[in-house]
Structure 1
Amino acid sequence: MVLSFCDKIILAPMVRIGTLPMRLLALDYGADIVYCEELVDIKMLQCKRVINEVLQTVDYIAPTERVIFQTCEREKDRLVFQMGTSDPERALAVAKLIENDVAAIDVNMGCPKEYSTKGGMGAALLSNAEKIEKILKTLVNGISKPVTCKIRILPTVEETVNLVKLIEKTGVAAIAVHGRKKEERPQHPVHCDFIKAISNSVSIPVIANGGSQEIIREFQDIEAFRSVTAASSVMVARAAMWNPSVFRREGLLPLEDVMRDYIRHAVRYNNHYTNTKYCLCQIMRDQLESPLGRKLHAVQSALDICEVFEITSFYKSCQLSQEARKLSLNINVQETPETDDNEENHDIVQMPIRFERKDYLPQVTPKMFLLEWCRKEKLPQPVYYTVQRSLDKFFRSVVTVNEKKYCSTLCDKSKKLAEQAAAIVCLRTLGLPEGKLGEEESNLIRKRKRGIQDESVSLAGTQGGEQIRKRLHNNEKFDDLKD
C-alpha cells in the first residue's frame, strides 16, 4: 500500500527526539505518519542491517556497534525515513538500503543548523536548485517508495513558489514546508501566508510545519493551522516534543502519564537511557526544578528512570522477557555461554548490568578490581568465557570466580564491555568495591593498600601491576593507568 500524504497529522523529524520510542508513542496517541530524525547518508552507508530477534526490530548498526537507526513492524507502513544528503548517488544508495523497512524517503532541505548545512545538506540546498532537482529525480526514478522533501521558505513568496514548482516536477509525492526562512528561529512568527501561497500553487500535497510556537497547543489547534495555511496535512514538531498527546483527539493527557507511556516504549526497545532522559527533559521543560525534575536529572540508567516514575516492576518484567528470548535464541544457535559441566543457567548469578565507562574511576576497571581481590584472597584469577551471538553480533560473558559463575543478563557491543559487566555482577554479589564514582576512594585505596601489605600480594607480574603497587603505596589516584 502506497503511503498517502493527504489529510494527515504527522510527527516531524527532530534530532534526538524522533527515535523509535517517541515515534511509537505518537502513533499510540493518533499521529497518522511519523518521521525519524535526520540521518546523514554517509553514516547510514557504513551501517549493517541486522534483524534483532530479541527486540523484534530491524537495527542499522555502525562499525562502532552503535545502533544508528531502529524500526519495527508496527510503524513500517507509516514511517518516513529522513536523510541528510548533498549527493544524488549517495542518496540513492541509502534509499535502496532502507526502502524495504520504511513507507517513504524524505530529503532534508530545510534544517538551518550547522551539523546539517556544513556538508551542503539541509537548508544549504535551498540555494542550489540544480542539485535539488538532481537528488529528487534520482530518488524518484531509483526506488519504489514515495519520495518527499522538507524545505524552509525563501526570502519572497515568488521565489518560494518557483522552487516548489520545480520540486513538484521531479515527481515527489509531497512537500513539507516549514514556514520560516533559514535565518529565522522559533521566536520569529511563522509565515502562514507563504505556506498558503504554496498550497494554492501546486497539485501535490503540501504539509504545513512551524505552528508549534504560536498556534498549536492541543489537537484542535492542528486543524486551525491546516485551515489558515490551506495545506493538505500538518506536521507537528515542538508541540509534540513538549506533550506527544497533542495528537489525541480526546485531548491532552497529564504529563506524568505521557512520560510513563514513553518510558515503557523506551524500556521495551532498550533505548539508551541518555536519549530517554533527554526526551523526558523536553517534556518536563517547565518542571525541571521540581522534585521530580531534580530526580530525573540525577538518573544514570534506565532502571533509575523507572524507579523515579515508579514503574520498576515493568522494567523487571521487560528484562525477564528479553532474557528469556535471548536464552532461547542462544540455545537455538548453540551460543549460550555454558559451564564446563553443562550446568543450567539458573546456577549462574545474573543481573541486568552494563559497564558505562564514564561512571567509573579513570583507567581503573571492575576487571582490575576483581583480579586484584582474587590475588589478595589467594584465589585463582577470574576466568572469562565470552561468546558473540550471530543474530546481532553482540557479546555475553560469564566470569568464574572461586568456582562460582556470574554474568550480566544484558548483551553488549564488544567483548571487553561484556567482560566488564560480568566482573561488576561478581563484585556486587560479593559486596566488593568496583571503582564506581561515588565510592569512598580514600577508604577503598586504604583497604586495598592494607590488603596488599597484610597478604603480601605482589602485582609486579601483572600488566600495569608495578604502577598500581607504587600508587597504592603512595595513596595516589589511578588517572594514568591502563587496563
Structure 2
Amino acid sequence: ARQEEMEYRNKMVLAPMVRAGTLPFRLLAAEYGADITYGEEIIDHKFVNCQRVINESLGTTDFVERGTDSVVFRTCPQERDKVVFQIGTSDAVRALKAAEIVCNDVAAIDINMGCPKAFSVSGGMGSALLSKPELIHDILTTLRRNLNTPVTCKIRLLNTRQDTVELARRIEKCGVPALAVHGRKVKDRPRDPAKWDEIADVVSALSIPVIANGNVFEYEDFKRIKDATGATSVMAARGALWNASIFSAKGKVPWEDFKTEYVRKTILWDNDIKSTKTTLREIIMHYICLEGTEGKGVIKCGSSADVA
C-alpha cells in the first residue's frame, strides 16, 4: 500500500548532495519549505554492514557501521514522510539488502543513476548504470517486488535526446512512481547550462511525474523550469546548498542567518564535523571566498564548538 503514499506532483525537492545532505541540512530545508528531502548517496557495500540503533539522547534513528561508532545515516521521526534514502549500487541483491535495513524509517528509496564522479562510475554505480538498461530493470523491479516503500531513481541526460527518452520509458515500465532527471550529460560541468528542453522531451514521453533538476538558484526558478519543461516537481542542488531558504515563498533569508541556523542545527543533531565543515566551506566560498578569515577559520576547526 505504501508504494503510492509518497505524492510526487507539485513538489519542491532538496537534491542528494554528498556530505551536505545530512539530517540538520534536510530539516532546515524542510523548515524553509522543501516538500521532499534526499539524503546524500550512500554506497550499498557500506550500508549492508550497518545496524539500526535508536539514539535515545538525540531522539534519532542511527545506522551505524558494525565494529565502529561511525554513523553512516541518521534520521528522525520529524522527517519520516519527507526523507528519501539514496543508494549507490551496481547490484540488485545488494541494493535490496541495503534498502531493507532502512526502508521502514524513510519515505522512499532512490537509486543514483546520475553521479559522474570517478568513485561511483569505477564501481559500476551512478552514471555507469545509464548504459546498462537490463541492470537498471533488474535493480528497480527487485526492489519494487520486495519492498512496501516507493522506489525511484535519478538519471542524467544521455548523448542523444532519443536515448534519454528511450531509457526513461524503460524505467517507467519498471513501475516507479516518479523519475528525477538532471538536465546535464555526464561530460557536462556544473557551470554548463542545464538543458531544460531535453528534460521537456522526457516529460512529454512519460505519464509518471518527472522531477526536473538543473539551474535552480532562486525561488522563481521553480516556476521557470516547470513552465519550460512541463515537469510537475523541481529539485534544487547547489542553489539550496548556498542558501536553503531558496524553498521559501517569502524569499531568501540573509545568508549569514541561514549559515548560523545551519550551525545551530548541526550542534543540536550532533552532525559529523567533516560534513559540517564541507557544507560551510561551500556556503562561504559562494558568498565570499575561502581565503578570508572566516574560510580559513572553518578549515582549522576540530569540533562543533570551534565552528560555533
TMscore range, shorter length: over 0.9
The one-letter code sitting in structure 2 at the alignment partner of 1:303 is A
The one-letter code sitting in structure 2 at the alignment partner of 1:121 is M
Determine whether 1:252 maps to 2:252. Answer: yes
The one-letter code sitting in structure 1 at the alignment partner of 2:109 is I
The one-letter code sitting in structure 1 at the alignment partner of 2:86 is Q
Q: Work out the CA distance in 2 between the residues paired with 1:162 and 1:274.
A: 40
The one-letter code sitting in structure 2 at the alignment partner of 1:39 is I
What CA deviation, in whole Å up to 9, does each residue of 1:219-248 have, x standing for no partner? 112211121111110010011111111111
Determine whether 1:177 maps to 2:181. Answer: yes
Q: Work out the CA distance in 1 between the residues paired with 2:273 and 2:149.
A: 33
Structure 1 gap segments, 5+ residues each: 307-483
TM-score by length of 1: 0.61
For 1:284, what is the secondary structure of its paired residue?
helix
Aligned to 1:269: 269
Determine whether 1:141 maps to 2:131. Answer: no
Determine whether 1:117 maps to 2:113. Answer: no
For 1:246, what is the secondary structure of its paired residue?
helix
Determine whether 1:168 maps to 2:172. Answer: yes
Q: Work out the CA distance in 2 between the residues paired with 1:156 and 1:282.
A: 32
Aligned to 1:21: 24
Displacement of 1:295 in angstroms is 3.0
What are the within-5 Å matches in structure 2 for residues 25-424 of structure 1? 25-63=28-66, 64-211=68-215, 216-285=216-285, 286-287=287-288, 288-306=290-308
Q: Work out the CA distance in 1 between the residues paired with 2:46 and 2:192.
A: 32
TM-score by length of 2: 0.95
| Identical positions, percent | 49
The one-letter code sitting in structure 1 at the alignment partner of 2:257 is D
Displacement of 1:277 in angstroms is 1.6
Displacement of 1:96 in angstroms is 1.3
Q: Work out the CA distance in 2 between the residues paired with 1:300 and 1:131.
A: 42
The one-letter code sitting in structure 2 at the alignment partner of 1:48 is Q
Q: Work out the CA distance in 2 between the residues paired with 1:9 and 1:105.
A: 17
What CA deviation, in whole Å up to 9, does each residue of 1:363-404 have, x standing for no partner? xxxxxxxxxxxxxxxxxxxxxxxxxxxxxxxxxxxxxxxxxx
The one-letter code sitting in structure 2 at the alignment partner of 1:54 is S
Aligned to 1:468: none
Q: Work out the CA distance in 2 between the residues paired with 1:116 and 1:297.
A: 26
Q: Work out the CA distance in 2 between the residues paired with 1:274 and 1:122.
A: 23
Is the CA contact (8 Å cut-off) linking 2:217 and 2:240 kept in structure 1? Answer: no
Larger Rg computed on CA atoms: 1
The RMSD of aligned alpha carbons is 1.2
Higher relative contact order (CA 8 A, sep 6+): 2
